[in-house]
Structure 1
Amino acid sequence: MKRSRVGHASRSVLSGRQVLVAQAAVVGSLMLALFVKEFPGVVRELRIYRMTGGLRAARRYP
């Protein structure tokens, strides 16, 4: 009886769902790293926006 290697090879290959999950994990971790890196700048910009009056400042700065 001759054994086929097809069954053996299919076990070592990732399924499509596993590839998608791995890609989602990589993209998610990159987005989280970017958010953590940029967060202090966003906080600083929000403070400046609030100090200048925000939406209510239209009457002071035409």
Structure 2
Amino acid sequence: MRKHRPASRPALSGRQVLIAQTTLFGGLLLALFVKELPGMVRELRIYRMTGGLRANRRYP
């Protein structure tokens, strides 16, 4: 008769996998934000130079 092996624990629990995925996704979002930040600053500067929301009376 075969002896049963003791139940082995999985290498990672579901909670640990979820935390790892969340960390990875957050890191990717942060990297994308940092990469796009100079362009956003440039666009904001152009928007402010053209008058922003008050430009309606200047540019019909």
- In the aligned structure 2, how far is the partner of 1:54 from the partner of 1:33? 29
Q: CA RMSD in A?
A: 1.3
TM-score for both structures, normalised by structure 1: 0.84
1:11-30 equivalence runs, <5 A: 11-30=9-28
In structure 1, runs of 5+ residues without a counterpart are: none
The Cα offsets for residues 19-52 of structure 1, whole Å up to 9 and x where unpaired, read as 1100000100000000000000000000000000
Large movers: runs of 4+ above 2 Å: none
Q: Percent identity?
A: 71
Measured against aligned partners, the alpha-carbon deviations of 1:1-23 in whole angstroms (never above 9, x if no partner) come to: x3514x22xx2431111111000
Residue 37 of structure 1 is matched in structure 2 by 35
Which structure has greater helix proportion?
1
Matched, 1:4 2:5: yes
TM-score (norm 2): 0.86
**Number of matched pairs:** 58
